[in-house]
Amino acid sequence: MTGPAITVVGSVNLDLVATGKTLPAPGETVTGAVLARHPGGKGANQALAAQRLGASVTLIARVGDDAMADEALALLTAAGVDLSGVARDPGAPTGVALIAVSETGENQIVVASGANAAFTPERLGVLPAGALICQLEIPLATVVKAVAQAEGFVCLNLAPAAAIPDALFQRADLIVVNETEAAFYGEQIHRARGLVAVTLGARGAELRRGGELLASASPPKVEVVDTTGAGDTFVGALTLALLEERPLGEALAFACAAGALAATRAGAQPSLPLRSEVEALL
């Protein structure tokens, strides 16, 4: 059975991941790391997460007209995500994320946006029907235009944190932030019209509306390998679960379990779990 239709408007990157014993302090060089290359980008990660969990996903994004684009889109193609809305930009390279991961799974990330930064509003076509997921790794004006077009459920992952117009808070049916992002937005986030999910790392997540706690969930205990992509998995999973009209507590538990599973494997997209794996863990 085909799952709910979700369109993701967002970023595509190729992740260059160096895994070592510790993360460097400012000015420090850490040697002995192992390098890997994985498809990434918050938009692409959330699209693949939702697709693997059972949604029917369309990704709208921009990549460079280069070899890195094929590598960055490979797992999305294999999973059957509709990439007809992904354009190749001859004037900008595919986005790249430089990621350092410690042996405990913590990470540091620097992003060279490339074609993602060139995804300006005039390059956004008409959105397909269905739900919409956006993040903030593409120009804010493009996110604003996408949300204005949307007629169904809208999820905004307000990451990386940035000042956004109040209209986005009032339009979103679901806002997802981590603790750092929640602190950046402060009380503004609790004036949002819809649901607000705050992820708390190993402590799980909370779901609120107007500041009132509606549900909380803790993730299953897992052995953490790499937290890259866990938050994006949570976004895709929670959006899908709410579209399936699951009770709030059940939807949050599903998303926490999916995010926990993503942290048990290396890489952003290679780690994203299948629905059967999440259900087995639950």
Element (H, E) at 135: none
> 274: which DSSP letter?
P
Question: Average of pLDDT values for 134-139?
Answer: 97
Residue-wise pLDDT for 88-101, tens only, equals 999 999 999 898 98
Which pLDDT score is estimated for 190? 87
Q: How confident is the model at residue 159 (pLDDT cuts 50, 70, 90)?
A: very high
Residue 74, pLDDT > 90, answer: yes
Query: For tokens 């808070």, what's the residue?
Result: 169
Query: For tokens 């299948």, what's the residue?
Result: 274
Separation in Å, CA 62 to CA 42, 121, 204: 13, 12, 33
Q: Answer with the residue of higher pLDDT: 194 or 268.
A: 194
Question: Average of pLDDT values for 164-179?
Answer: 96
Q: Which token pair is 264? A: 């048990």
What sign results for the dihedral spanned by CA atoms 269, 92, 6, 175? positive
* Number of Cα atoms under 13 Å in the Cβ half of residue 258: 35
Residue-wise pLDDT for 183-232, tens only, equals 999 999 988 999 999 999 889 999 999 999 999 999 888 888 878 789 99
Question: Average of pLDDT values for 146-171?
Answer: 95
Q: Which token pair is 246? A: 């699951």
Whether a cis peptide bond, with omega within 30° of 0, leads into 160 is: yes
What's the CA gap between 136 and 160, in Å, rounded?
A: 6
Q: How confident is the model at residue 1 (pLDDT cuts 50, 70, 90)?
A: very low
Nearest to 156 by CA among 134, 171, 137: 134
Residue-wise pLDDT for 26-42, tens only, equals 999 999 999 999 899 99
Which pLDDT score is estimated for 200? 93
Query: For tokens 């913590």, what's the residue?
Result: 106
Q: pTM for the whole thing? A: 0.92
Domain spanning 5-281, CATH class: alpha beta
| Cα distance between the two ends of the chain | 22
Q: Which token pair is 77? A: 């193609």
Which pLDDT score is estimated for 185? 95
> 192: which DSSP letter?
-
Asked if residue 206 lies in contact with residue 187, where contact means CB atoms within 8 angstroms, the answer is no
Active site residues: 232
